Amino acid sequence: MTRSVRRTRRILRLAGAGAAAVMALGACSTSSGSEDSSGTSDASGSPKLSGTVTVFAAASLKESFTALGKQFEKQHPGTKVSFSFGGSDSLAASITGGAPADVFAAASPKTMALVTDKEEAAGAPATFVRNQLEIAILPGNPHKVASLKDLDKSGLKVVLCDKTVPCGAAAQKALDASGIELTPVSYEQDVKGALTKVELKEADAAVVYKTDVKAAGDKVEGVEFPESAKAINDYPIALLKNARNARTAKAFIALVRSAEGRKVLTGAGFLKP
């Protein structure tokens, strides 16, 4: 029995003074059910993969990982890949807080470190892609933004990610490296927030990831800038210690790191590691 299940049971026992007892029974039987199915497949020693893999992945991976998940399920009938996309920090906090996950794919080594520091990872994390910053601008580039320096123009409304989230930290690194001091109108809580402001034309430019610009389609345009090379984000992936379906999870990680997986990821705008 995993720790999280034990914890769940304990909490439910506490709460279950009244009618909650019924729900507790239901919850317990569900978790032990999935446990059993993975257990039997392990015990049989069959090479056939089965069961559900739960993947916690950075929000920027949503499009490409969803595609890879479908591919994986097709290649291994009987398996199911379920995703939880979100800010890497929140995901890391969930994992250290006991959330049931098999795989963690983070948008920065720093956030992955939050998990490895607590010894929640089963092995050393491996970098599988990298992401580079780009300037997202309004379609048609009405403000003629061609470089990072152009963002300093007066009257231009620029949004950055907050320094506490990976895209903000990276943008700050690039700005520092080029000696530009930029005052944005807002430090957004995540990269999607920054991008939304440009999509809705509330801001004129945002410093975001290439993959985000690509995912936004023709609502924004991307402007590459050389300083972004100084702030390339590594994306690490790791199997988690408490994985309930380690064999299938490992197979999914292998798919992500294979040439096939890389093709999907670079198609979304990621760089090879």
CB neighbourhood size of 203 (10 A): 24
Give the C-alpha separation, 80 to 72, whole Å: 8
Instruction: Give the interface segment with another protein, choosing from 115-123, 126-134, 157-165, 226-234 (CB under 8 A).
Output: 157-165
Q: Report the residue from 117, 201, 226, 229 that binds another protein according to the rule CB under 8 A.
A: 201
In whole angstroms, how large is the CA radius of gyration of the chain?
21
CB neighbourhood size of 122 (10 A): 16
Residue tagged 């309004």 (tokens) = 138
Q: Which of 273, 259, 271, 272 is nearest to 68 (CA)?
A: 259
Q: Taking CB under 8 A as the rule, does residue 189 contact another protein?
A: yes
x-or-dash pattern for another protein, window 1-40, by CB under 8 A? ----------------xx----------------------
Give the C-alpha separation, 61 to 120, whole Å: 21
Instruction: Give the interface segment with another protein, choosing from 28-36, 71-79, 156-164, 238-246 (CB under 8 A).
Output: 156-164
Tell me whether residue 200 or residue 259 sits nearer to another protein (CB atom).
Answer: 200
Instruction: Fill in the DSSP letter of residue 238.
Output: E
Q: Taking CB under 8 A as the rule, does residue 185 contact another protein?
A: yes
Residue 230 Cβ, how far from another protein at the closest point, in Å?
A: 21
| Residues binding another protein: number (CB under 8 A) | 25
Instruction: Give the interface segment with another protein, choosing from 5-13, 38-46, 87-95, 174-182 (CB under 8 A).
Output: 87-95
- Asked whether the beta carbons of 201 and 78 are under 8 A apart, the reply is no
Tell me whether residue 109 or residue 273 sits nearer to another protein (CB atom).
Answer: 109
Which element (helix H / strand E) includes 172? Answer: helix 166-178
- Asked whether the beta carbons of 240 and 3 are under 8 A apart, the reply is no
Q: Taking CB under 8 A as the rule, does residue 157 contact another protein?
A: yes
Tell me whether residue 98 or residue 193 sits nearer to another protein (CB atom).
Answer: 193
Give the C-alpha separation, 195 to 208, whole Å: 7
- The site for another protein (CB under 8 A) is made up of 17-18, 87, 89-90, 93, 110, 157, 159, 162, 164-165, 184-189, 193, 196-197, 200-203
Q: List, as residue ranges, the binding site for molybdate.
A: 60, 88, 191, 209
